[in-house]
Amino acid sequence: MKFESILQIILLGSSIGLAAVIFKKIPVLRTLADKPSQDFEKKQELDLKLKTGIKKLNPFKGLSYEILLQKILTGVREFSLKLENRVSNLLKELKRNTEERKVRENDNYWEEIKKATKNKSKLRK
């Protein structure tokens, strides 16, 4: 209950502060909207000049988007094939390692059984 009342007080205080800031800044914002600045107009002119200049100097005029897409997709395909090849090599290596481990375990398996049977026969005597 205390926590909720503290949150409500904070919300009320911040709302009042926000409203005060907005009411103080409204007259300043009205004066800014009435007269556009010369810097803004110069910036728009400069932007327009830059855009036209870039369009004139466009190095990609003769580039077809289909060819670009084809090159990108070819690169992605090559990357995926290389990745698939590496993964398959890793899988082959893991399989080989597990088979070698199984062979080693099977060799020791029969020797352990022989030792265990010899120990049992010695214990019975």
Sign of CA dihedral 93, 98, 101, 102: negative
Structure token pair of residue 71? 């090159």
CA distances from 37 to 27, 31, 41, 42, 103 (A): 17, 11, 7, 9, 85
pLDDT in tens, 68-121: 889 999 999 999 999 999 999 999 999 999 998 887 776 777 777 778 887 766
Instruction: Report the pLDDT averaged over residues 27-51.
Output: 76
Give me Rg for the CA atoms of the chain: 40
The Cα–Cα gap between 43 and 48 comes to: 9
Which residue's entry shows tokens 């899988």? 91
Query: Which element (helix H / strand E) includes 22?
Result: helix 2-34
Q: What is the pLDDT of residue 59?
A: 67
Identify residue 91 by its one-letter amino acid code.
L
For 19, the token pair is: 């409203």
pLDDT of 80 reads: 97
Give me the residue spans of the domains in the chain: 63-125
